[in-house]
Amino acid sequence: MDVISMSSDPMRTLLFLTVALPGAGFLVLALSWLVGVELPEKVVARVTGLIYTAAALCVAGGAWLMRAVHLPSLHADYGDWFRVGEYAFKFELYFDGVSLPLLGLTTVLTGLVAAFSRTYMHREPGFRRFFLLLHLFGFGATLGFAAGSFDLLVGGWELVGLSSVLLISYFFERQGPVTNALRVFATYRSADVGLLVGIFSLHHFRHSAALPALDLHTLDPQQATIVGLLLLLAAMSKAAQIPFSGWLPRAMEGPTPSSAIFYGAISVHLGAYLLLRARPLLESSPVALGAVALVGLATALHGVLVGRVCPDAKTSLAYAAVTQLGLIFFEIAMGWTTLALLHILGHSTIRTLQFLRAPSMLHEYHRIHAASGGLVDGGGLSLEAALPFALRRRLYWFAVDRAHLDRLLDSAAVRPLSRLSAWLGRVEQKLAGGEKLAVRPVPVGATLSAPMPEEVDVLHD
């Protein structure tokens, strides 16, 4: 494994900047907000464009230099973040033929979405908040793809999830976005346990989770099965595989640009990236490998059926993404890693453009429908015509109901987590002295800047 000295290698600097630039953009916007500096929309948009243009050039420059010196991979160690006893949490980045294409994809598509959002989000009250969260997402995604260890990957994974939930609830003045954001957050939390416990198991079995130093082939089948299934659980949630696929249409409550970059391009593919990194481990466990293939095929079939009955464009695109992600999971299970990587790149690009076009698609459809005299479809044979009517009716019911997955997940994960959170809140209030703040519902259209005394009461036990 090639480790290059920090002082002499420009590749390290270029690739480090790929991760650092989005983080710097987040810090600049966050500090300006904290100190009360009101940045114009044009300044925010131009700074964002410059940051992601520079980040994309850094990826291209670093990849070109690595190719020029025939370096297949680069492990860059930037020192310890912190150390506890014999354990050291290192800030180390790892660049190879898997991470570099995804880093380039992330910087280019995030910059494209930022340019689109400059017009789409114009004069929105939360314009700066949107770009602030977009930078946080960019930092989390680049950190996750470039992480040199599974430990550091968790940091990027969590930042992407946090920014995702906050952008789903972007229109917080309505109840729907907030409710769905909490539902997505609970779904993430219920499955991210698999990532944390899986990495803990790696430390227990091999005393390391660093990608270059970790030989996943050396795990015995039982250990590989335990770690593989735990990582698969986390990947299923992030990639909206069954039974977790119900959160993806709920995430469409966020602005269209965030739907494009999160659920069409980058965020949902983090689960597939995790499995690509863990592919050597999966090879040691036929059980885990079979589970990945089964989940992928079942999700692809589920996405096809449900997507055909979705009544709106964004939900239909969400289930189309679910279908393609299921196929990517199957490709990884079959060992077609190069095909899976190309599938991720192509699907991310196309789906982003489709999400960005979604607001105008229905308008164009109605215009074409009117111009053609109400005849758009040419008719002809369909797959449904070959099926018996009773089976078609059952499949239609299955698709409309989405296989009961939302209700099953609600009873198995979301409600228990909500009850646990409520109980912890009551415990915290008692430990803090028994004083709590109760906020009564505010009528639609009422101002939120100066709550009236009857809207907020301080209750004492």
Confidence bin at 378 (pLDDT 50/70/90): very low
pLDDT at 340: 94
Lowest mean pLDDT among 116-125, 175-184, 406-415: 406-415
For residue 430, being part of any structural domain is answered with no
For residue 421, being part of any structural domain is answered with no
Q: Residues 52-75: pLDDT tens digits?
A: 999 999 999 988 988 888 888 888
Please provide the average confidence, as pLDDT, over all residues in the chain: 81
Q: Which of 23-27, 190-194, 213-217 has the highest mean pLDDT?
A: 23-27
The structural domain count of the chain equals 1
CB atoms within 10 A of CB 136: 24
The residue segments making up the domain with residue 264 are 10-361
**φ/ψ of residue 126, rounded to 5:** -105, 35
pTM of the model: 0.82
Lowest mean pLDDT among 12-26, 319-333, 406-420: 406-420
Paired tokens of 335: 């060992």
């909500």: which residue's tokens? 418
**Contacts for 46 with CB less than 8 Å, ≥ 6 apart:** none
For residue 357, being part of any structural domain is answered with yes
For residue 168, being part of any structural domain is answered with yes
Answer whether residue 193 shows pLDDT above 70. yes
For residue 440, being part of any structural domain is answered with no
For residue 172, being part of any structural domain is answered with yes
For residue 452, being part of any structural domain is answered with no
For residue 53, being part of any structural domain is answered with yes
